[in-house]
Amino acid sequence: MKQIKIEDLECIAIGAAILGSGGGGDTRNDLMIAKHFIQKYGAVSCISADELDENDLVVPIAFMGALLITKEKLPSGREFKLIIEKINERYKNKRIVLMAAEIGGANAFCAISCAAILKLPLLDADTLGRAFPELQMSSCNVNGILPSPAFLSDGRGNTVIIDAKDSLMVENLARAITVKMGSSACVSLYLMNGKEAKSAIIEDTLTRSIEIGKAHKKAVLNNTDPIEAILKKTDGKLIFQGLIIDVNQKIKDGFLQGSVTFDDGKNTCSISYQNENLIAKINDEICITTPDIITICDTQSGIPITCESLNFSQRVSVIGILASDVWKTKKGLDLVGPRVFGFDVDYKPIKEEIVR
């Protein structure tokens, strides 16, 4: 068992954003919230999957809705206690082990804050290994864990429990309820016991985000190349380095869609995104697709840039990181492969030879 302390949080913010594949939102507020609650209630105990008891209740938790709205209507901080109360009412006398539903982006911090307030253990794992936009896109779903009952709570004291037929219906209902809750809600679903969890989750992702953040921090302190450090830590590939020459975005069906184009003087690279970066092409040839992680970082500082913050004239590096194995199965690709997002191509692992 280890401890998540205040000084780990800044590293998580960088690491989680890099695993976010351009999605998962700005981590600043959630980082502050986690800092505040650890300051107030103390460090969080973090256990690995090996330390799970078969009878533990593993509770994935996240915020759902528009991150930009929670920047104005801050979480009350009482959503967490409320949702755990409801879970305790439903599953009596279980030891609850919290887990980030999504490690990519701001949601890496939700479980940490919740664990700090309620002094519950936190599992070093998540159910995505990155960020994805919808609730059915979960390793738990691939591994046959039921999404219901799903729990929602908001800052004004409302809770809802959804008992739905399948994961898509949970997504639809939860989305509608979240809007009524002010477009931001705390959500928990795919609850499972310790035994089920061992085969359904993606392990060690919290540690991974800390390690990536630490490597980045060290490079910045030593004045060495932060991009190089990130690549080494993630076994990633440098896909492209250049200048942003075009950003084209729109919203379709509630999701941010767009493309961004880079130029290095010789070649052009373009990335299509829908909340997360999904496909990258160099000179019109596909070189990486979802579910592999595509992250755009500021070349000089190594700081990852989310899709909504892309701007003209930024000098950036595009990094490709292999997805967790669960997403490369047939079931996984049926949930998060390129075709799910409307691209008429099949998943291809990152190309070994990349034009630079």
Binding residues for another protein, rule: CB under 8 A, are: 29, 32-33, 35-37, 64-69, 71-78, 113, 133, 154-156, 175, 178-179, 182-183, 249-251, 253-256, 275, 300, 308-309, 311, 313-315
Task: Please state the closest distance from residue 195 (CB atom) to another protein, in A.
Answer: 33
Task: Choose between 194 and 304: whose C-beta lies nearer to another protein.
Answer: 304
Of 126 and 154, which has the nearer Cβ to another protein? 154
Residue placing its CB nearer to another protein in the complex, 124 or 134: 134
Rg (CA), the chain: 19
Quick one: which of 243, 247, 250 has its CA closest to 268?
243
Longest CA–CA span in the chain (Å) reads 63
Give least dist CB 269 to another protein, A: 17
| Whole-Å CA distances, 53 to 95, 99, 147 | 9, 15, 21
What tokens does 73 get? Answer: 């209507």
Helix (H) or strand (E) holding 205: helix 205-222
Phi-psi label, residue 105: left if phi above 0, alpha if psi -120 to 50, beta otherwise: left
CB of 267 to another protein, least distance (A): 17
* Shortest separation between residue 156's beta carbon and another protein, angstroms: 5
CB < 8 Å & 24+ apart, contacts of 218-225: 219/302, 220/301, 220/302, 225/302
CB of 41 to another protein, least distance (A): 12
Q: How far is the CB of 133 from another protein (least distance, A)?
A: 7
Give the SS3 label for residue 255.
strand
Nearer to another protein, 32 or 220 (CB): 32
Nearer to another protein, 254 or 349 (CB): 254
> By C-beta, is 104 or 194 nearer to another protein?
104
